[in-house]
Amino acid sequence: MSETYLATYLNDHLAGSEGALELLEHFERAHAGTAVASFAAELRADIMADRRELEALMERLQVAVSRPRKVAAWLAEKATELKLRLDDSQGGLFRQLEIFEAVSVGIEGKRLLWRSLGAAAEDTPDLGGVDYGRLERRAEEQRLRVEAVRLEAARASLRSAPSVKCPACLQSVHAM
């Protein structure tokens, strides 16, 4: 097993979890007292539990936390938060759609992490002792929960979107 690749892989996923947790925390504060904020809090707790599983594995394997990756994840989350503010300055349903879409992608990545580690554990005893199947199923369940909220935000934010009127596009259609 390449210890460098494993350390990189684990640290990348640890850093990714930090971004998701920060996004959800911002969302919770912005929507305090609402059902969707409660959903975000529950999801954040689930992601924290999974993060603790990853940290325990890293500790057992003696994989150090990468400070540069941690800083890069923090910077990426700040850039993402800025992008989201620019996209929907009111913090409405479009921002909710984008946040939960980003979190959904991260959860899918986490599911793939557990699947990859499970496959590698078949030939690498050091990776054994973890129920990767359970963790993968938990990630899938989380993603499905997020998907319901994401689609609700998509319906609400995109259905009333004004139609795009591009004069140049209309001219090229009429020219045909």
**How does pLDDT run along the chain (176 residues), one tens digit per residue?**
578 999 999 999 999 999 999 999 999 999 999 999 999 999 999 999 999 999 999 999 999 999 999 899 889 888 988 898 889 888 889 999 999 999 999 999 999 999 999 999 999 999 999 999 999 999 999 999 999 999 999 999 998 655 555 555 545 445 54
- DSSP at 125: G
> What is the model's pLDDT at position 73?
87
> What is the model's pLDDT at position 124?
92
pTM: 0.85
> What is the model's pLDDT at position 13?
96
Residue 156, class by beta-carbon neighbours within 10 Å (0-12 exposed, 13-18 middle, 19+ buried)?
middle
> What is the model's pLDDT at position 173?
45
Q: Are the beta carbons of 55 and 14 closer than 8 angstroms?
A: yes
Q: Are the beta carbons of 37 and 28 closer than 8 angstroms?
A: yes
> What is the model's pLDDT at position 172?
47
The crossing angle, in degrees rounded to 10, of helices 93-121 and 35-60 is: 30
Domains of the chain, earliest start first: 3-175 (1.20.1260)
